[in-house]
Amino acid sequence: MSTKNFLQVGDKAPDFSAVAVYEQEFKQVKLSNYLGKYVILLFYPLDFTFVCPTEIIAFSEVYDQIYSLNAEILGISVDSEYCHLAWMQLDRESGGVGDLKYPLVSDLSKQISLSYNVLNNEGKSLRGLFIIDHLGIIQHVLVNNLDFGRSVAETLRTLQAIQYVQSNPDEVCPANWQPGNATIKNSPSDSKEYFKAI
């Protein structure tokens, strides 16, 4: 399926409403209800596969840290809510994901994946990761093919960098920036202080 949707950083995140599974229950999730918080949208190909559970579990394991940064996670695939529930009810040693700290959204219609331009020709979602800010604006986009997973640590670092520069608009974060590291003043003359120190 092809699309002419060229979503970019700086665009308003397309809203959606869909059924999700959270705490072994079905619930309706609407992206716009998360305004005021940062949201990590975590698209993945399919439940009951190989790389997907490693990512889904890894993000659940750092959920408390992400939540402490005023952020939420929504996992999204083209599976049904019933498939999500079965996957959560299966223990991790048997290929399931067990209890998760965030919802898994059903995109059975594939409209969410299509609107975020991550639906491939086989009808699966690519490994798309979107960080949406508290105003509903896309600040980061990463899309992998199906065969390799994403870095939870880099996602966390990127979220922290986004929040830092939004809180400090006269500063920018250099390569490999980590919280507490030096930043660069956003002007030709003041930026020299950073480069003198490296």
Active site residues per annotation: 52
Tell me how crowded residue 8 is: count the other CB atoms within 10 A of its CB: 8
Displacement of CA 176 from its chain's centroid (Å): 19
* Region label for 98, one of left (φ > 0), alpha (ψ between -120 and 50) or beta (otherwise): left
The structure tokens listed for 148 are 């390799």
Measured N-to-C along each axis, helices 152-167 and 51-61 cross at an angle, to the nearest 10 degrees, of 50
- State the DSSP string of 78-134: SS-HHHHHHHHHS-GGGT---S-SS-EEE-TT-HHHHHTT-B-TTS-B-EEEEEE-T
| Interstrand relation of 38-43 and 71-77 (parallel, antiparallel or unpaired) | parallel
Q: Order the strands of the 17-22 sheet from edge to edge.
A: 25-30, 17-22, 104-106, 71-77, 38-43, 127-132, 138-144
Q: Which residue has the tokens 């072994």?
A: 24
